């Protein structure tokens, strides 16, 4: 089996001004100095990307955007183009987060356009997928994941396994304090990897990272990451506090 270096990503959502984000990034940089064997990414709000990028320029912590638009420029008031995100120093872009899908009506078609646009400028999309509580209770988890992966990645070709990250985030576990059991998460991750094998072949899929997201905390990260197909975490609430996030990166220590 391919060795996959874990990725721990923090999504700061609509929290922290530029100065607050810079302070948090400085703290993280010192808390994580010397930590190896794990990749780290944080996604601050757009207004803090440049400042945080500057603070972290000589640290091994990547910066990501929380969203982008698929057009490269134009009259799209309020939107941010992939090239702008890239020029601001981002390596990753979170795409299709459940809050974008649920609160802002993003469709799988939009997600697909964003994934393609991110790849076209050399950003690594972090494609978020996951079922609602009602869908899980109706035994539709796999069919929802199937649709989100196939439509989100329709026509997407990848050169390297590191070019794209998938994040499985069951909606019922986001910001609720409810975490999927490690067995529930592993089952979904194994299913997603099976889909990636169909789309990209075994060698590629086995080297791609699939993150878990949903109330990840210092006390549950080790159990989750101990599962075969869980290659890291996308962390919301617990990423806002540098000490807590650093403990997650250190797998709970």
Site of interaction with ligand PEP (CB under 6 A): 11, 169, 174-175, 213-216, 234-238
Choose between 64 and 213: whose C-beta lies nearer to ligand PEP: 213
169 is catalytic: yes
Given the residues 69, 92, 169, 189, the one annotated as active site: 169
Name which of 96 and 237 has its Cβ closer to ligand PEP: 237
Angle subtended at Cα 145 by Cα 108 and Cα 61, rounded to the nearest 5 degrees: 80
Q: Report which residue's Cβ sits closest to ligand PEP.
A: 236
CA atoms within 13 A on the CB side of 153: 24
Q: What secondary structure does DSSP assign to 226-238, as a single string?
A: TSTT--EEEESGG
Distance in Å, CB of 210 to ligand PEP, minimum: 14
User: Is 97 designated active site?
Assistant: yes
CB closer to ligand PEP, 82 vs 213 = 213
Q: Can you tell me the distance from the alpha carbon of 230 to that of 189, in angstroms, rounded to the nearest whole number?
A: 7
* Nearest CB to ligand PEP, comparing residues 126 and 195: 126
Instruction: Report helix, strand or coil for 247.
Output: helix
What CA–CA distance (Å, rounded) separates 209 from 242? 24
Residue whose C-alpha is closest to residue 191's, from 251, 240, 129: 129
Shortest Cβ 182–ligand PEP spacing (Å): 15
Among residues 97, 99, 131, 135, the one annotated as catalytic is 97
Catalytic residues: 97, 169
């Amino acid at each position: 089996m391919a060795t996959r270096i874990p990725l721990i990503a923090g999504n700061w959502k609509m929290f922290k001004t530029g100065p607050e984000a810079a302070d948090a990034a400085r703290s993280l940089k010192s808390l994580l100095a010397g930590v190896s064997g794990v990749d780290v990414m944080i996604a601050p709000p757009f207004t803090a990307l440049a400042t945080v990028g500057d603070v972290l320029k000589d640290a091994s912590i990547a910066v990501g955007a929380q969203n982008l638009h698929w057009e490269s420029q134009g009259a799209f008031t309020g939107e941010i183009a992939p090239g702008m995100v890239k020029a601001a120093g981002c390596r990753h872009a979170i795409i299709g987060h459940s809050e974008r899908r649920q609160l802002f009506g993003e469709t799988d078609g939009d997600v697909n356009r964003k994934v393609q646009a991110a790849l076209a400028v050399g950003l690594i999309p972090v494609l978020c997928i996951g079922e609602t509580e009602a869908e899980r209770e109706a035994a539709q988890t796999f069919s929802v994941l199937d649709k989100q992966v196939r439509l989100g990645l329709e026509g997407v070709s990848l050169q390297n396994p590191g070019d794209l990250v998938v994040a499985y985030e069951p909606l019922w576990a986001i910001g609720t304090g409810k975490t999927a059991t490690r067995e529930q998460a592993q089952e979904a991750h194994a299913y997603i990897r099976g889909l990636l094998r169909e789309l990209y072949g075994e060698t590629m899929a086995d080297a791609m990272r699939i993150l878990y997201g949903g109330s990840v905390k210092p006390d549950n990260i080790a159990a989750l990451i101990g599962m075969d197909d869980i290659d890291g975490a996308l962390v919301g609430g617990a990423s806002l506090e540098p000490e807590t996030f650093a403990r997650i990166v250190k797998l709970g220590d």
